[in-house]
Amino acid sequence: MYDKDIRKDDEMKRRLIEMAIEKLPNSYAPYSHYNVAAAALFDSGEIYTGVNVESASLGMTLCAERNAIFHAVAEGERKLLAVAIVGGVDGERAEYCVPCGACRQVMRDFGDKDSMIVLSARTPDDYLEKTLDEMLPYSFGPESL
């Protein structure tokens, strides 16, 4: 069980970013050439990784963030604490890679908007940190139903 405040746990943030960087070469982006990898921390303490996987039918493409989260859900996870994201054209991490709207919404379904964080990183020492609420203000979540 992960019982620390992720916003204050620099060691875990570094670990998440490093895990995403490690998976980046596994991204499959032959059409856009925009490679992305993600590492998602859940309250169990487990970390799940994912990469973007493109399809010739582009609507069938799956983002790295949703890939990681959906894998975690398939393993029984439900409470998302943090997601680290890395990516760029041909895998070059020249800019901060931020989640698309669909990924932000999926994060909202499993993460607390005020405490869940998104780390958009170039390196383990160079990243933007935002809460989910900052990434998706005025969101629609499970409590809205």
**8 A C-beta contact, residue 131 and residue 116:** yes
E-strand stretches of the chain: 34-42, 47-51, 80-89, 117-123, 126-131
Q: Count Cβ atoms within 10 A of the Cβ of residue 71 and give its class: 0-12 exposed, 13-18 middle, 19 or more buried.
A: middle
The residues carrying an active-site annotation are: 65
